[in-house]
A and B are shown apart, each in its own frame.
Chain A
């Protein structure tokens, strides 16, 4: 069952240089109870997309088209007074640095009670009870309720921030780089907490990240973004093992694998196009070793390339051959 379905979403920023098409026709599906990784480079629009879903875009941004269907309703035309009750209750946000979600000089108890009582309408004793349950759920000692977030370690803060997001039992949690700032052992512990919550609460989650290894470890599905668009999506196993988009193929050789004996790493030369005036054809064509003249003429649609697997590439019929060529470093040399 689909919990969230984003269709052809456009989000524009007004800047001094002109209009930036940060999200430019993005499609995304989140089935109920599954963790979807949203990966891409800085500036690809993944964080903007996350914020648009939450309805917390900055004042300079606006949704210029498309739909966000969540629990059967399109959120785009909803006025703020109808969006507001959805936040925390139906969808919640975990930011990259937990200090953005937690007030460092207010006891954790005060902050959790505020959400549970004022937003959730619980009585104070019921809210305290629930707060303790939430902390246990994320692996924190309930005694930390009396502590101030500035006393917490990075991992504890991130756990507290997740507990706060779960306070009113949302169906969807959007986490923006929730483990990027954490050390590897704590990162693993927080990812294990997220997976455990998914199973226990049947929670759906969008995990915004730049790290393919985090996606492989923690996610059921993945959507790869490039220059404002989702260029490939599907189950993690399918996308990682048999990618159809050359950008995804390139990414899988671009960073080291601890368990794999030092095969040469191959960078994807170049940089994504400016989103002030994106090129008319495929946005990856400039960096793509397999681009043909017609790739630059028209944008490829996000189309079904295998069961439950979408990709936006004019050459997806030749993917099996391209995958073999993408494994050779000389293919990517410029």
Chain B
């Protein structure tokens, strides 16, 4: 380091010359390494998604190779006899998810409307954390409650058993609600204030404004909310596993369809993986189900991102 004398006399600018040649190398190298590491952290996200898919393929593809396609879409899932028909599981997932969405979307959308358009600020400040808390409740706790309290209740109300698709849908609905509510809320919030003001100025009531002006304007955001809610519901494991009864059959069609036990794809993996031999056909098949789940949620999320576009929270760099 140059002596203190040169520092005080000639100023720091003399120590650190304008050109890079004599600059202390270490600091430069250190910064370079750190910035490289940050870049690596950034693209690690892409790498991880790819890795997950690759591992799923590695362990799951053998199943699709060894099981003929006709059987794959067959109506029976009976691993003990080496029958691997995916259809009951797929149907179970779809049925439970459908039920959940039918319950959650009206409930969630309405709550979002309440929060965004009707509730006074004080209420909003209590309700929003409350809903965040709902999101925070572990799925196993809700599943436990469903198993120990909700299912018996439903049975007492007349169903043959309390472990049904409906029970699962009800639970799933409540678990998807925070997602649907918060994204719907964002969509409603994004509708410019001028739209509402304009409608009200023309004499519309609050309800008319909401129904005719705000909701249509927020349409694409609301669609996103539903899509992500679906994604959330399809991917849930523990809660549905505990309350849907785990019968890997296609339930009989008819009015009572929701009140029969079903088995979802997620529950199948969770319930059966513990008992399979590694490398067996059953084992590969479970990974195969994982591939199907991955593809479904990937499709939903990518589509949702495509509709929404990239986030608009880019900084205006360099401007004061």
Say if A and B assemble together: no
> Residues on A close to B: CB < 8 A?
none
